[in-house]
Amino acid sequence: MPRLRRGPITCDLLVKSREAAMQAVQAFNNPLATFRTEAFIVLMVISWTYLMHAYFRKAGIEYRYYDQKTMRKRFHLTQGGTYRYWELERCLIEEKCPLDPAMKSNLRFLIGLRHEIEHHQSAGVDEQFAGRYLACCLNYERVLVEQFGDKFSLGTALGYVLQFRDLTAPILATEAKNPLPAEVARYVQQFESELPEDEFQSPYFSYRLLFVRKLTSKRGQADRAIEFISADSDLAKTIDKDYWVLREVERPKHRASEIVKMMKAEGFPWFTMGSHTALWRELDGKNPGKGYGIGIAGQWLWYDKWIDAVRASCKADLQRQELIESVIKN
């Protein structure tokens, strides 16, 4: 029976994995490229597949397809007579796969997205899911270093991306976003509706940042293009230098079904999806100007501000009911 051997083959897998990852980032950052997302996903899937194979080989886990009706394994072969190895989707369901659940969801999302845009238009996908592409890269670097050490890190392999557009609020606010094709929008809505809330909010699934610019009038204090500090640190409140303060841009978002469960758990058993729909219509909750939530890929998600409004409404309903019952008793 053929056995997996460690050593040079593992290193070869890592070399291929790292090269595919670098080519993926270069393809996405190429301003002349038209199919950036497609190229990025294809190359990152190849990169992750090699990385998982290297991990399984190191751990002594068989990652070739086979049947075992007797004591002897019968390995599956390709038409060319070589072994059939696990594709990435199969690697992700392996019990000993080292990835965080949100990392797996990120990869499954990208694989499914590629299937949707493979033979259709892909307008809008470059911009709308950039946070998920970035999370894919950061997850890859994290797993690569954790499993094989700093010597394989890609952290210094690629430098800053230079561009011709300033990151100012007016420019970003007026930048037009292409609507997603209907097939892609349906896929995104279906995928996210089945995703656990903790994975949906995880930076391993989508990495979201906000850069808040602070200008300086002093010379010699802006040699570096970007410096990062904690947004809530004392330094961020007092410095007078050219800093870009790093903090999370996305507030927590919640589905309507989650809010209904939350209200029931807090002692408002009468609150249903119908109650929720009636309330947001009454309060014009989906008016973007009120800041209660945001529409993403055809699905409306609610901020904590809306939960506070729902909770206040439920408490008011409870007080009215208690008052009515008190009057009836008297």
Where do the structural domains in the chain lie, given as residue ranges? 8-195, 210-247, 256-329
Range with lowest mean pLDDT among 54-63, 107-116, 215-224: 215-224
Residue 60 gets the label, from left (phi > 0), alpha (psi -120 to 50) or beta, of left
Percent residues over pLDDT 70 in the chain: 75
Q: How confident is the model at residue 20 (pLDDT cuts 50, 70, 90)?
A: very high
Which residue, 13, 308, 35, is CA-closest to 147?
13
C-alpha–C-alpha distance, residues 77 and 67, integer Å: 11
Residue 172: what pLDDT? 47
How distant is the alpha carbon of residue 14 from its chain centre? 24
**Cβ atoms of residues 303 and 259 within 8 Å:** no
Please tell me the distance from the alpha carbon of residue 43 to that of residue 66, in angstroms, as a whole number: 26
**Mean pLDDT to the nearest integer, 147-154:** 89
Q: How far apart are CA 123 and CA 33, in angstroms?
A: 14
Contacts 24+ apart (CB under 8 A), 5-11: 6/57, 6/58, 6/60, 9/57, 10/54, 10/57, 10/58
170's enclosing H/E stretch is helix 169-174
Q: Which of residues 13 and 175 earns the better pLDDT score?
A: 13
What is the rounded distance in angstroms from the CA atom of residue 330 to the CA atom of residue 327? 5
User: Is 86's pLDDT higher than 80?
Assistant: yes
What mean pLDDT do residues 296-305 have? 81
CA–CA dist 240, 244 (Å, integer): 12
Q: pLDDT-derived band of residue 120, with 50, 70 and 90 as boundaries?
A: low
Amino acid at 108: R
Long-range contacts of 60-63 (CB under 8 A, 24+ apart): 60/4, 60/6, 61/94, 61/96, 62/4, 63/4, 63/91, 63/94
Confidence at residue 244, expressed as pLDDT on a 0 to 100 scale: 45
The predicted model scores a pTM of 0.64
Write out the H or E segment, with its range, that includes residue 37: helix 36-59
Q: What is the pLDDT of residue 103?
A: 94
Give the pLDDT score at 314: 92
Per-residue confidence band for 18, with pLDDT thresholds at 50, 70 and 90 = very high
More confident residue, 122 or 202: 202
Amino acid at 87: E
Q: What angle is formed at CA 155 by the lines to CA 152 and CA 161, rounded to 5 degrees? A: 140
